[in-house]
């Protein structure tokens, strides 16, 4: 049996005491107490999700491309601005 390697973008963000991983292409997420635990958990979630798609004969979303990056930028705002949180 031939095995294909699929790569999906995973975005991990710290939320309170936990790290939350999201896989937008598959519409799934998972969490953990550490980044390493979160990576392990989300990998298992991806495998489980794909297994479910195969069992139900549902099309598997194409893997993400490698030409993706995330950036942050800083902006100046007036003093005294109230944030939404």
Instruction: Determine the structural domain holding residue 21 and report its residue range.
Output: 11-55
Is the residue at 78 inside a domain? no
Distance CA 69, CA 43 (A): 20
Going by pLDDT thresholds of 50, 70 and 90, the confidence category of residue 9 is very high
Domain count, the chain: 1
Distance CA 20, CA 42 (A): 9
Is the residue at 85 inside a domain? no
Q: Is the pLDDT of residue 84 over 80?
A: yes
Is the residue at 79 inside a domain? no
How confident is the prediction for the chain on average, in pLDDT?
93
Q: What is the C-alpha R_g of the chain?
A: 17
Is the residue at 34 inside a domain? yes
This prediction has a pTM of 0.79
pLDDT digits 0-9 by tens, 43-83 = 999 999 999 999 999 999 999 988 878 888 999 999 988 88
Is the residue at 80 inside a domain? no
Is the residue at 76 inside a domain? no
Is the residue at 40 inside a domain? yes
Is the residue at 35 inside a domain? yes
């Amino acid at each position: 049996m031939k095995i294909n390697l699929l790569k999906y973008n995973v975005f991990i963000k710290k939320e309170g005491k936990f790290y939350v991983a999201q896989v937008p292409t598959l519409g799934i997420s998972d969490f953990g107490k550490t980044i390493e635990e979160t990576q392990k958990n989300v990998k298992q979630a991806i495998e489980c999700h794909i297994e479910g798609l195969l069992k139900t004969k549902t099309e598997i979303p194409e893997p993400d491309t490698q030409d993706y990056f995330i950036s942050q930028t800083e902006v100046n705002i007036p003093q005294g601005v109230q944030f939404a949180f």
